[in-house]
A = this chain, B = another copy of it.
């Protein structure tokens, strides 16, 4: 479907481009555009971060982005354009890690589609994040298991923690 754009962008070649996302979702039918942009920030869990390396399993990631798009479309139940792009490679502080844009006739659906998409990208797509710290150390983030035996228990725990003290990852 041409209403859903998905990309894995090797940032050795080009950065993510929020303007291109806006361009893609633009349509005279649509009055509301909600976007989410994830950037590399300087601190995580109290440690000073100097950069992040993103590793992706590209073909599966693209399929899953597309699947997420179809799910967002079903959830919105009306016209939607959705842009999902994730960076791959070595990012510095301030670099864009992920860009999502959702456009719909009205704003409520745009927000819902955008939120659904970023949550699904974070929890379901084959993407891994290695943080590099100022002291030279580095660590792969603890994330969400895609393995069915672990997945349900972890998602339930995340829901719980979201309700009590916000959403950590």
| Residues of A that sit less than 8 Å from B by CB | 18-19, 22, 26, 28-43, 93-94, 105-111, 114-115, 118, 162, 166-168
Contact B37 A22 (CB under 8 A): yes
A-B contact pairs, 29 of them (CB 8 A): A18-B18, A18-B19, A18-B22, A26-B39, A26-B94, A28-B41, A28-B42, A28-B94, A29-B42, A30-B41, A32-B36, A32-B37, A32-B38, A33-B35, A33-B36, A33-B38, A33-B39, A34-B34, A34-B36, A35-B35, A36-B107, A43-B105, A106-B166, A106-B167, A107-B118, A107-B167, A108-B162, A108-B167, A111-B111
Complex Cα spacing A18 to B18, Å: 9
Among candidates B31, B41, B105, residue contacting A105 with C-beta atoms closer than 8 Å: B41
Among candidates B31, B36, B118, residue contacting A40 with C-beta atoms closer than 8 Å: B31
Cβ contacts under 8 Å, A114 to chain B: 34
Cβ contacts under 8 Å, A18 to chain B: 18-19, 22
Query: Is chain A's interface secondary structure helix, strand, loop, or mixed overall?
Result: mixed
CB distance from A87 to the nearest CB of B (A): 13
Cβ contacts under 8 Å, A115 to chain B: 111
Contact A107 B38 (CB under 8 A): yes
Q: A108-B167, A118-B107 are in contact. Are A39 and B34 (CB under 8 A)?
A: no
Which residue of chain B is the closest to A33 with respect to CB atoms? Answer: B37
Cβ contacts under 8 Å, A32 to chain B: 36-39
